[in-house]
Amino acid sequence: MALILCAPLSAHAYVDPGSGMLIWQGLIALVGALIVFVRNPLASLKRLIERFKRK
């Protein structure tokens, strides 16, 4: 309890601009990966359904 009372209220933290760009790059890579890995299985499922409809 005493440590909480002695701790400062503000941290005065610094976030490097490179860290923000790393987060954006990760988000863009995530979107790209989702497009590649989700679109292809959906296309293959559509083809499979079309095969069953033809028969």
pLDDT tens track for 1-32: 666 667 777 767 777 888 889 999 999 999 99
Confidence of residue 40 (pLDDT cuts 50, 70, 90): confident
CA dihedral 29, 30, 33, 39 (to 10 degrees): -130
DSSP assignments along 3-23, one per residue: HHHHS-S-------HHHHHHH
Ordered by start, the domain boundaries in the chain are: 22-55
Distance CA 43, CA 52 (A): 15
Confidence of residue 39 (pLDDT cuts 50, 70, 90): confident
**Amino acid present at 35:** I
pTM for this model (two decimals): 0.49
